[in-house]
Amino acid sequence: MDREFEEAIKRQPLVNIGTAGHVDHGKTTLIQALTGIWASHHSEELKRGITLKIGYADTAIYQCPKCPPPQKYYTSANLPEDMRCRYCGTPLEYVRKVSFVDVPGHEMLMSIMLAGAAMMDAALLVIDATKECPQPQTREHFTALSIIGVRKLVVIQNKIDIVSRERAKESYKEIRRFLEGTWAESAPIIPVSALHRANIDALVWALEKYVPIPQRDHTLPPKMLVARSFDVNKPGTPVSELAGGVLGGTVIQGKFRVGDEIEIRPGLKVKKGGQEVYEPLYTTITSLKSGNEPLEVAYPGGLIAIGTELDPSITKADNLIGNVVGKPGTLPEPLYDLEVEIHLLERVVGAEQPLKVEPLKTNEVIMLNVGTSLSVGTVTSARSDSVHLKLKIPVVAGSGTRVALSRQIAGRWRLIGYGFIK
């Protein structure tokens, strides 16, 4: 491990842990219990009590060197002011930072969940113990994690404060039965009350045990998936004082430094000869931040904000969601036309009633999630194992990239399978 990377462990989260699970099962409340932060800020979200966008929040994990687990574990959300163990008074030790990616559970917002899942190294599958398991989006989100290739799971049996002992046992059995025979068969199940912050130390213990910092090759050309983009200026700021556009997202490989030249693809939509095309953007990284911590270098894992010299009107209001950032000349050409090797699910798992997945047909419109980007395409030719698609919004992805496929069924986009770009 090089020196710079050892330093990075102190400054930035190097792992992204996502939420997954049916609407209202307590994902955002759980992230608040872990981080102290309510990750659903959007005014519409606050009003309606449902998460609409990808939220994120970081926490730092600390431990008491003397006490046994789970009570040895602390997070930023419950850190004693004197930084000493609540049970024995020993000074606490810093362990690491982790980032949480919070996604919506509403069935209408599956595409946002899929974009969030593209940034997850591991996931917390949140299950409301008062409800029978699985609920439709418990199934659909779990399938999404499977499809996207998230292979680390901690199951959260939530709302344990309002169930009887019998119901808690029954719910535990339902969850085990649901996961039987899948890649997550032996995932730990941690009973918690996110609302009352009960047993959160046991959850942190599980994260320490099952979710280490992923091994990565830091010498690869850097790449970041854009999940949010902002204009951070207050209205009325004089032009001479305007800060450049900001991109939020996660580095998926390599590392970025302040001062790096970057390319953003597919970039901006422009009209050319009566046609809409996308043109890449070029700029320089003026700052890097992880939470409030300024960084000189940003490694994979954790949600990172990149300050740029772009006109903030380009990045405002999430305009650049789904873009990919790299060094100029290293990113794949945007694809408007592509051949995809397809693997359809047997059943539509997100609907109340399981339906059979019918084969893809010519002229059918399907939704494609690639990384944090979302596109809609028309099937121009279909075979049982591959289809050709024409896209409205191009995707920036090389051959072999995994894509999630959804189809509209009774007015809802439902996950129906996955594929690989040929």
Ligand X SMILES: Nc1nc2c(ncn2[C@@H]2O[C@H](COP(=O)(O)OP(=O)(O)OP(=O)(O)O)[C@@H](O)[C@H]2O)c(=O)[nH]1
Question: Which residue's CB is nearer to ligand X, number 48 or number 361?
Answer: 48
Question: Among 194, 227, 303, 348, which residue sits at the site for ligand X (rule: CB under 6 A)?
Answer: 194
Two structure tokens written together for 249: 């997202």
28 binds Mg ion (CB under 5 A): yes
193 binds ligand X (CB under 6 A): yes
Q: Are 187 and 155 in contact (CB under 8 A)?
A: yes
Question: Which residue's CB is nearer to ligand X, number 26 or number 116?
Answer: 26
Question: Among 13, 14, 15, 24, which residue sits at the site for Mg ion (rule: CB under 5 A)?
Answer: 24
Question: Among 8, 14, 17, 23, which residue sits at the site for ligand X (rule: CB under 6 A)?
Answer: 23
Give just the sign of the alpha carbon dihedral 117, 119, 124, 126.
negative
Question: Which residue's CB is nearer to Zn ion, number 17 or number 95?
Answer: 95
Question: Among 13, 18, 104, 326, which residue sits at the site for ligand X (rule: CB under 6 A)?
Answer: 104
Question: Among 11, 27, 97, 414, which residue sits at the site for ligand X (rule: CB under 6 A)?
Answer: 27
Question: Among 50, 189, 379, 382, which residue sits at the site for Mg ion (rule: CB under 5 A)?
Answer: 50
For residue 74, give the nearest of 85, 66, 82 by alpha carbon: 85
Q: Which residue has the tokens 């910092």?
A: 213
Cα–Cα distance between 377 and 413 in angstroms, integer?
Answer: 13
27 binds Mg ion (CB under 5 A): yes
Residue 307 parent element (H or E):
strand 304-308
Q: Which residues of 174-190 are buried (b: 16+ CB within 10 A; e: fewer)?
A: bbeebbeeeebeebbbb
Residue 167 parent element (H or E):
helix 165-179
> Which stretch, 31-39, 56-64, 305-313, 402-410, contacts Zn ion (CB under 5 A)?
56-64
What's the Cα-to-Cα distance from 245 to each of 223, 287, 301, 331, 393, rounded to whole Å? 18, 11, 22, 21, 22
260 makes contact, choosing from ligand X, Mg ion, Zn ion, none, with CB < 5 to 8 Å by partner type, with: none
- Cα-atom radius of gyration of the chain, to the nearest Å? 22
Judge whether 133 is annotated as a binding position.
no
Shortest distance, CB of residue 41 to ligand X, whole angstroms?
A: 13
Quick note: the x/- pattern for Zn ion over 75-114, rule CB under 5 A, is: ----------x-xx-x------------------------
Q: Are 390 and 384 in contact (CB under 8 A)?
A: no
Question: Among 29, 138, 143, 315, which residue sits at the site for ligand X (rule: CB under 6 A)?
Answer: 29
Type of residue found at 207: L
**Helix-strand-coil percent breakdown of the chain, rounded to 5?**
20, 40, 40
161 binds ligand X (CB under 6 A): yes
159 makes contact, choosing from ligand X, Mg ion, Zn ion, none, with CB < 5 to 8 Å by partner type, with: ligand X
Cα–Cα distance between 113 and 195 in angstroms, integer?
Answer: 22
Beta strands in 221-354, from DSSP E residues, in sequence order: 223-230, 246-253, 256-257, 261-272, 275-290, 293-295, 297-298, 304-308, 324-326, 335-344, 347-348
Question: Which residue's CB is nearer to Zn ion, number 94 or number 269?
Answer: 94
What's the Cα-to-Cα distance from 25 to each of 128, 163, 173, rounded to whole Å? 5, 14, 18
Q: Are 85 and 62 in contact (CB under 8 A)?
A: no
According to DSSP, residue 200 is labeled H
Shortest distance, CB of residue 321 to Mg ion, whole angstroms?
A: 18
291 makes contact, choosing from ligand X, Zn ion, Mg ion, none, with CB < 5 to 8 Å by partner type, with: none
Question: Among 67, 195, 202, 242, which residue sits at the site for ligand X (rule: CB under 6 A)?
Answer: 195
Contact footprint for Zn ion (CB under 5 A): 64, 66-67, 85, 87-88, 90
User: Could you tell me which residues are annotated as the binding site for GTP?
Assistant: 24-29, 158-161, 193-195
User: Could you tell me which residues are annotated as the binding site?
Assistant: 24-29, 49, 51, 64, 67, 85, 88, 158-161, 193-195
User: Could you tell me which residues are annotated as the binding site for Zn(2+)?
Assistant: 64, 67, 85, 88
Contact footprint for ligand X (CB under 6 A): 23-29, 49-51, 104-106, 158-159, 161-162, 193-195
